[in-house]
Every structure is written in C-alpha cells, then in structure tokens.
Structure 1
Amino acid sequence: MSETQMQVAPEHKMSPEVKAVPDTMTAAFDDFMEAFESFKEVNDRRLNEIEQKLTADVVTRDKLERINRSMDEQKRVLDQLALKKARPALGRGPETGPEAAEHKAAFEAYMRRGDEGALRELEAKAMSAGSSSDGGYLVPDPVDSEIGRRLSVVSPMRALSTVRTVSTAVLKKPFALTGPATGWVTETAARPQTASPQLSELTFPTMELYAMPAASQTLLDDAAVDIEAWLASEVDTVFAEQEGDAFIRGDGVNKPKGFLSYDTVADGSWSWGKLGYVATGAAGAFATSGASDVLVSAIYSLKAGHRQNATFLMNRRTQGEIRKLKDADGNYLWRPPATAGQAATLMGFPVAEGEEMPDIGANALPIAIGDFRAGYLVVDRTGVRILRDPYSAKPYVLFYTTKRVGGGVQNFEAIKLVKFAAN
C-alpha cells in the first residue's frame, strides 16, 4: 500500500459523514478500535514532526483532531447502545401478583382518564400515604425502580457513588474524623484514659427535581401505547442530565452540592472539609516536560484503600487530549475498552465520562480521580410522584413528575483533583 493510500484511507473510513452509524454493539466497538489504531498512527507522525521540526504539520494536526472527534462520536454511539441493552422490560419487576396488577391497572386509569377512584380505594385499603398533601400519586413500584436503574446508566456520578434511599427529607450521617487515642505501655504501667474519637455530622437534605411532560388525549386514549414506558422515557434522561450536573457542580441551593463546589486546596495542605488538588505546573495546560507526572501524583495522593477502587472522571474533550500522552517507553497512557460495554482505562484505572466536568483551562479542575463510592453520597427519597393536570395546557394533559434527591461529599480524602495551574 502506498503512503498516500495509508494517509487517506483511514480518514475516509473515520469520517462520520461518510460512514454509516453501526447498529450493533460489536460493529460499533470494531469501528472504535479501528479509529484508535488510526489515531495512534497519526499521533505518532505528529510527535515525530515535533521532534524533527519542533512543530507539527498543520495537515497532521487537523487530521488528528478529526479522528479524535470521530472517536468521541463513536464512543457516544457505543454508550447509547450499551444503555439500550441495559434497559430491562418495563413493568416486569419482581412485584407480581394480584395486588401489583391491581395497582398497575389503577395507575393506568389515572394516567389515561384521570380516574383516581381506584387509586384512592387502594391506598385506603393499604392505609398508605400514597397521595401527598400537594396532590399526586406514587408511581407503581416497577416504574419507579425502572427510572432508578436507567439513571444509574445515564448519570456517571450516580453509577459511581453510594446511593441511599430515605423516607425523610434529610439524611444525617455521623463521621469519625479520628479514632480513639492509643499508646504503648509496659506490663505493669498505669493505663491513662485515652481521648474520645472526634465525630462530625454531615447533613444531606433532599431537593425536589421535577419534569412535566405533556401528552395529547389522543395518545392517552390509544390502548397500544404503554403509558409507563412513555413516562419513563420522557423523564429519565432529563432527570439524569439534571442530576449529573448537580452531583458534579451543583451549588447546594435547591439542588445537591457537587464535589467541585467544595473548597479546594493544594494536596500538601489538605484538611477535612476541603478537596485536595495536584497542579500540572502550567496554567491551562500540561507541563511541557513530563506531562503525565501530574496524573501519577494525583493517583498516589490517594490512600491505598481508596486508590485500589479509584476511577478517573473527565469530559470527552479532556479525554481527547489525554489520548495523545505517552509514557517514557512510548506506550500510550490511555487504553481503549477491552470489550464492548466496558470503560476505557488511563494508567490502569477506569475512565468515566462526565460531560459536566470543565474543559482544560487556566486554573480549571477538569480531572478528578477517587473512590467515588466512598467519597460521594447520593440520597434518594422514596417514591416518584405524578400529578395529572388536564387544565393548564389544554388540549394537552400535563404530568407533573417529581422526585426528591440530595447529594454531597461524605469523605473528603477519597477524591482528588488535577488543577491546570502553575501551583
């Protein structure tokens, strides 16, 4: 194959405008791996040009960026196919039997026709508080659990973090900052009383998250339409987007507090209540020499117990820059997934993509690494509620759907950040 063919053929195959989007997980994964091989070839050429001429050819740089964007698009297709594959059938949960069927039928009657009599009768028989003071009814259990499962796939923070379900508005969690004091003594020496452990209380209030999809009465009258599936498909993605943003950068005002909203400090000066960071050594960029050293420092700033469960979190643009980095032996630090549906790895640690993470910039914090299951807590209040409103937007019927969610850092030493700054 000629040099010209080697340069043109991969670019033609990688172009999203030319190549059709694959419709199977295997085909999408094969295309992604093919794109990565082309990426490595072009990036190696770029590095050789920099070494020989102190700058890379414009054509090479442009081609590398096109392949990089194509890889991002193919990874997005892979994620969508994995999401579709992970979705179980709606309304087929473990809750079976006559009571579950009766609740499902009553809920569907409320959704389609606004007939709440059967729901009221069921709640009266169960002596439950399914109808809140503000109106609305609890979604049947299969739909509620379905929304939760699909959110865990869509939102990386929900999938990475610890999730607690509560029945109250606030979760209070005690945390031991220090253990009991200890000391060495001889066999017959006096044993003075040791200091008590130091406890701190963390508070996680739940905030209301809502969506209000609209449906025409014609849609509701159509018996072929699965109302539960329609409801889940309408609200799960918007809930996931709002949650994902709040868990990362939420300010804690009427929403969960994201981990990037906490005070940060250089890791050498870390103290409880703040998140430690490691600086790259250059404002808005990796260091010109030993660019990957900051990643090694961030990894080993975690204690061993957290490091073994650590995951990198960054957006796709940052990941695109990291794909270009090599170690001292010329090996790429970023590795593609071993099989379809798995995560890419960076220096042996899985990489999760959170589009809410900031881009690389001066004094930005685009990369986080940590044991998020130990470090971040998501609090769900039991139940997703629906209020049917056929009046406000006639001829459409609105479904005011709410859930209560909270979140915040529960262990400040389990998450570390990379700051693109001189120090």
Structure 2
Amino acid sequence: MDRIDDGLETKAGAGTDIAALFAEFSTAFEEFKRTNDQRLGEIEKRGTADGLLEGKLDRLNAVLDGQKAALDRAKAERARPAIEGKGQIADGEYKEAFSAYVKRGEEKALSIGVPADGGYVVPAEVETEITRLMTHISPIRAIAGVRQVSGSVYKRPITVTGPQTGWVAETASRPTTTSQTLAELSYPTAELYAMPAATTAFLDDAAVDVGQWIADEVNAAFAAQETTAFVNGNGTNKPNGFLNAAKVAESGWEWGKLGYLATGVDGALPSSNGADVLIDLVYALKAGYRQNASWVMNRKTQGALRKLKDGEGNYLWQPATAADGNATLMGFPLVEAEDMPNMDEDSFSVAFGDFRRGYLIVDRQGVSVLRDPFSAKPYVLFYTTKRVGGGIADFDAIKLLKFGES
C-alpha cells in the first residue's frame, strides 16, 4: 500500500470493484487540483513554489497513475468471458482435438489446422479472444483502424489528390479535368510470438480451459510488443510505427510525411501560455479528422499537462466522467501509450489525430501453437505466433507536437 502525506492511497483492497476504484480516482484528482492551485498561487505571489508542495503534487500524480492502471486492469478483467463455456458447440470437435493436443500432444484430427510453417491453428473463439484482450491492453490497437487479411501483405490504393472539379453553365463547354493522383500503401505482416510454459500436472488438470489459458498467457506479451512497434517500429520484421514516418513542419506539410508543430522551447512547453501550442495543434488538424481525434502520450507527459489551465482557470485535463471512459484533454480523449517518448529536446512526445483513419493495423488470420515438451523439461513450452502488420494510412490524419525550438 503506497501512502502519501495527505492520506490518499492506492488501495489494493479495492480489487476489481470498478465503482470503488473510480471513486478513489476522482477523490485523488480533486486533491491534485487543490494542491496545484496552491502551487500556482505561490508561484504568482513569490515566483516559486514550496518544495514540499511540489513533492506532494508529484506524489499525487503517481497516485493518479496507479489508480488509473488499477482501473484499466479491472475493466479488462470484467470484460473477459469464458471461451469454452456451456452451450458453445460450434466447431466442438476441433476444439476438443486442439485441447487434447495442448494437454497431451495428441495430433490426430488436427490436420485441418496445420499451417504451412508448422504448429496448429487455435480454434476461432480463442483467436477472437486473443485479439479482443489485446485491444483492451494495447492502447494503439484500441483507437486505430484494424483489418483482417488472409495473405502475408495487404496493399491498399489511396487517392492523394482527387480529380479537378468546377462549376459550369448548362451550355458551356466542359474543360478536360486533371486526373486524380493515386498511391499504393503496402502493409506486410511480420511474425509476433510468445512462448508460455506449463507443467504436465497443470495440463492434466481436467478443469483447465486450455483456450482461455493460452489467450491469457499470450495477450499481454503480444500487446506490449505490438504497441511498441505501432509507435516506434522501423518496418523490419515488425510494423512501421507512426513515429517512424518522415516528419515536416506543418507549414510545409506534404503527402508521405507527418506534420508537426514546435513548442519553441527545447524539451518543454513555453513558460507562459503553455496551453496555446496544444490549441494550435488541435486546429492544425482538419475538421473532418478532428471530430474523432484522440491525444496519445505517455504517463510522464500526461502528468505535466495535468497542471495546465485555460484562460478562465479551468483545468485542460479532466478525468473520465464514467468508470469505463477515458480522461480528456481540451475535450478530446487521451490515450496513454508508454512507448511515446518523454518530453526531451526535439522529442515528438504528443500525437493528436484521428487514428482510426490515420493508422492501419493488419492482422493475418490464424494464431498457431507449436507444442514443445523437450526444450525446457519438466515444462512444456507453447510457441504461439500470429502475424501482424501496421503503418500510416492517412498522413493528414495525425499531427505531432515537437518539444523543440523549430
């Protein structure tokens, strides 16, 4: 139990009681606001704030982060259904055969699930559950566009510029219009793997739901790896992250690059009117994208932006209004992705955009499992793989904030 001077705490005893966790989070944020108001008042009067007050604010920030993480875990746990529950009889024969393969290594009746690169394909319900659980854990997957494909590469034509149009009189001649410009975006899939281990005694337990066990074991590992790639991946044996795209100042934006605005200060927001650059970033995005836009940043950057107020003294950062919602910044949902860089010199620590249109995740159908009882005796290893790709889908749908002079 982590306790701070003002009595606020992250309560492990709250368990998965979402209402209690949400109430604690709301209480902590109210105390955060009171403390930050004191800090700002001291800065206004004396030019600096008391160190004890700054320390208390940092601890409150940590409490908010811890309670938010606990709330997220509780929501994911509540959303998890049983896979092989009573009444699910579709494809039952294959599920039974797959369970026998996982538990005892029996391979009969599984030939229909053998992919070209070895292993056995998990039942459809297990694949769906793995993807669903990953969506709860992977912040980028939760907001990006997702497409399932059967091949190893997905190619998508896109219109960069449309045909020339105009108004003419009824009997006037029609000038020849300029042809539209098309480009092709390619999304190769790469292999993502996890290797959970189990004892023979565990697998022999008749009560073990092997499909749920595999889904639980691999989803966190898959989600962590793919989130890193969706943000920073270089496209070599992994997806292309959106921060790996070419970048250009918004004033010189062109297709194929992500536009950015600079804060004007290395590694920080401006000391006065720091919120102005965030407002500018919001309106750098076209209205058609802005209505479905989200902020993406890591925990430390979010902690810094929690302290900002608008000209009327209202906090720009607001907690979720319901337990299953997202915090907001300037009214737009805020998504926490720890793979985003910290605020540093020339870092691109904040992204804002319509990620559903701006970033595409490609899932190849099929999750395969290869049973290995030999490499780590007395444990049985399960080499579990799926193929995932990703990359920018619309370079105009995402904007970045650069913490630098230009």
Q: Give TM class, smaller chain.
A: over 0.9
State the match for 1:22 in structure 2: 14
| Amino acid of the structure 2 residue aligned with 1:216 | T
| Amino acid of the structure 2 residue aligned with 1:367 | V
State the match for 1:38 in structure 2: 31
| Amino acid of the structure 2 residue aligned with 1:293 | D
Write out per-residue CA displacement over residues 333-376 of structure 1, whole angstroms, 9 at most, x where no aligned residue: 10111011110111110101111111111101111110000000
Alpha-carbon contact 1:280-1:422 (below 8 Å) kept:
yes
Paired-residue identity, %: 53
State the match for 1:213 in structure 2: 196
Shift of 1:87: 1.3
Alpha-carbon contact 2:84-2:209 (below 8 Å) kept:
no
Aligned: 1:78 with 2:71: yes
Structure 1 segments unaligned to the other structure (5+ residues)? 1-8, 124-129
Write out per-residue CA displacement over residues 9-54 of structure 1, whole angstroms, 9 at most, x where no aligned residue: 98442244xx544221111111111111110111011001101110
Aligned: 1:204 with 2:187: yes
Instruction: Spell out the pairing of 1:5-404 with structure 2 (5 A cutoff).
Output: 11-16=5-10, 19-23=11-15, 24-92=17-85, 96-97=88-89, 100-120=91-111, 123=112, 130-404=113-387
Shift of 1:395: 2.0
RMSD: 1.5
| Amino acid of the structure 2 residue aligned with 1:46 | R
Write out per-residue CA displacement over residues 201-243 of structure 1, whole angstroms, 9 at most, x where no aligned residue: 0000000001111111111111122211211111000000001
| Amino acid of the structure 2 residue aligned with 1:13 | G
Equivalenced residue count is 403
Structure 2 segments unaligned to the other structure (5+ residues)? none
* CA–CA distance in structure 2, aligned partners of residues 413 and 328 of structure 1: 30
Shift of 1:422: 1.3
SS at match of 1:365: strand
* CA–CA distance in structure 2, aligned partners of residues 57 and 140 of structure 1: 60
Alpha-carbon contact 1:177-1:200 (below 8 Å) kept:
yes
SS at match of 2:110: helix
Shift of 1:118: 2.2
| Amino acid of the structure 1 residue aligned with 2:269 | F
Give runs of ≥4 in structure 1 deviating > 6 Å: none
| Amino acid of the structure 2 residue aligned with 1:108 | S
* CA–CA distance in structure 2, aligned partners of residues 93 and 143 of structure 1: 15
